[in-house]
């Protein structure tokens, strides 16, 4: 009987130590190491590089929106979650699929100095095909007005995101918006 209690005590202690020692890594480590947050990201500088293309991509930890910009200086931006996407100038609502909406405003025109468009999409409501993406639901144009260009990005939920600009290719630039798949 004494051996039984010794074994029982050993099993209980081993189980208790196992529970304490093997706490899940997710309790202290953010998803994929991402620590971006979901508050507004902004750079107020004005640029001379016009919008030339919009494209998307998928990564293991996030979905990516890339806005290609022509030559000139890299523009600033404002990216934030909003209750609904609105069209520049008119304020008309722009319907976008998803449980959360990111308004992406680029401090750059989508017109050249002669008033000719530098970016033409076949479908303003579907700037990129995001079918099968884990986070993105829709990328839509929200128009341009007085040197600014806006996009509506519909996402699955209000998730952390980051925004940054890259130089190249050539004399151009890129505005990048990454939205995490999870918190």
pTM reported for the whole predicted model: 0.82
Give me the CATH topology for the region 32-180: Immunoglobulin-like (2.60.40)
Tell me the C-alpha distance between 168 and 113, whole Å: 21
Which residue carries 């996009």 as its tokens?
A: 151
**Mean pLDDT score, 67-96:** 93
Tell me the C-alpha distance between 121 and 102, whole Å: 20
Binned at pLDDT 50, 70 and 90, residue 26 comes out as very low
More confident residue, 129 or 13: 129
Which of 15-24, 98-107, 127-136 is predicted with the least confidence, judged by mean pLDDT?
Answer: 15-24
pLDDT value, residue 151: 97
B/e letters for 93-120, b = 16+ CB within 10 Å, e = fewer, are ebebebebbbbbbbbbbbbeeeeeebbe
Q: Is 25 helix (H, G, I), strand (E, B) or coil?
A: helix
Peptide bond into 64 cis (omega under 30): no
């Amino acid at each position: 009987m004494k051996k039984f209690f010794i074994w029982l005590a050993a099993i209980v202690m081993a189980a208790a130590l196992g529970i304490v020692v093997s706490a899940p890594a997710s309790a202290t480590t953010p998803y994929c190491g991402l620590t971006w947050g979901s508050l507004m990201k902004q750079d107020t500088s004005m640029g001379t590089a016009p919008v030339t293309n919009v494209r998307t991509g998928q990564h293991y930890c996030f979905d990516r929106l890339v806005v290609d910009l022509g030559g000139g200086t890299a523009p600033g931006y404002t990216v934030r979650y909003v209750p609904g996407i609105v069209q520049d100038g008119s304020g008309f609502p722009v319907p976008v699929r998803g449980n959360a909406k990111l308004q992406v405003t680029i401090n750059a025109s989508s017109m050249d100095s002669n008033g000719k468009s530098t970016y033409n999409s076949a479908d303003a409501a579907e700037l990129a095909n995001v079918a099968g993406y884990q986070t993105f639901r829709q990328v839509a144009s929200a128009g341009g007005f007085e040197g600014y260009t806006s996009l509506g990005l519909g996402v699955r939920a209000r998730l952390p995101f980051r925004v940054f600009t890259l130089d190249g290719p050539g004399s151009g630039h890129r505005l990048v918006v990454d939205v995490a798949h999870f918190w």
